[in-house]
């Protein structure tokens, strides 16, 4: 009898302590970050501090960091070898705006393919309407909201500028890349994820959509 009294008193104390902790805790519904009165802080990797993405929007495997044990041994190229493919040329901030969609991309443009590229890579932030109302907008608690690609600067800027903005993470990302700094935006730097042809295809797609956008 005495034992149960102690037991239940212990339980009440534990519950009270838990209730106190929970009421004192701050929980961020969007990021899952929890802060308990500066005693403990839990962060979820929604905003990883390292890697090529400021925000984990995508769940595909190639975006997740791999562990050494998952990697096969690397075959290193012979010393002094020069890459002949895969090396991206980075132009200057005054060169990009003067570029136009290459003739071969224009010739092989496929609107359905372009729409698919947008759906997979951009829609989550820029939205189906392309005005910046994607699902991710409500979850982005840091930095600028996804840009309106139909009525904003992307609709009036040169093709080359839009190419640069997609490549480096919007206008701020482009400006920073040109002085060798990290992008401050949450938008991925697509030059690391897509070919030039794919980015030019998206430039054409954005231009065509904004030209026929009404509202
Ligand atoms: C994780 C969210 C996210 C994804 C995915 C994303 N963007 Fe963005 N994008 C943004 C944000 C946020 C900005 C505004 C950045 C700023 O100005 O600070 C932006 C800006 C831009 C701009 C510059 C427009 C302007 O008005 O300054 C272009 C163009 C653009 N995005 C195109 C794309 C395209 C094309 C894709 C897909 C290949 C894409 N974005 C994917 C978040 C995203």
Hey, what are 195's tokens? 């070919």
Taking CA atoms only, the protein residue closest to ligand 1 atom 23 is: 170
Per-residue pLDDT of the chain (215 residues; tens, 9 = 90+): 455 555 677 777 777 766 666 666 676 666 666 777 777 776 655 555 555 556 666 655 555 666 666 667 777 777 777 666 556 788 999 999 999 999 999 999 999 999 999 999 999 999 999 999 999 999 888 889 999 999 999 999 999 999 999 999 999 999 999 999 999 999 999 998 899 999 999 999 999 999 999 76
What residues line ligand 1, using a CB cutoff of 6 Å? 55, 57, 121-122, 124-126, 136, 144-147, 149, 152-154, 162, 165-166, 170-172, 185-188, 190, 202
Sign for the pseudo-dihedral over CA of 150, 152, 156, 159:
negative
Query: b/e per residue, 91-119, with b = 16+ CB within 10 A?
Result: eeeeebeebebeeebeeeeeeeebeebbe
What ligand 1 atom has the least distance to the C-alpha of 53? Answer: 1
């Amino acid at each position: 009898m005495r034992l149960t009294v102690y037991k239940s008193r212990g339980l009440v104390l534990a519950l009270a302590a838990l209730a106190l902790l929970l009421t004192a805790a701050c929980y961020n519904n969007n990021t899952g970050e929890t802060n308990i009165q500066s005693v403990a802080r839990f962060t979820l990797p929604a905003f990883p501090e390292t890697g090529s993405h400021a925000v984990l929007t995508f769940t595909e495997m190639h975006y997740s960091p791999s562990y050494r044990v998952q990697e096969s041994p690397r075959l290193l190229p012979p010393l002094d070898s020069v890459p002949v493919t895969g090396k991206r040329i980075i132009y200057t901030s005054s060169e990009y705006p003067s570029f136009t969609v290459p003739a071969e991309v224009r010739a092989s443009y496929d609107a359905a393919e372009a729409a698919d590229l947008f759906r997979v890579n951009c829609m989550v932030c820029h939205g189906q309407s392309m005005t910046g109302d994607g699902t991710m907008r409500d979850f982005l608690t840091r930095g600028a909201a996804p840009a309106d690609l139909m009525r904003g600067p992307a609709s009036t800027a040169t093709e080359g500028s839009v190419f640069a903005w997609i490549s480096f993470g919007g206008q701020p990302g482009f400006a920073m890349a040109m002085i060798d700094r990290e992008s401050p935006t949450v938008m991925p730097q697509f030059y690391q994820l897509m070919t030039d042809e794919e980015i030019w295809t998206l430039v054409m797609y954005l231009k065509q959509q904004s030209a026929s956008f009404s509202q």
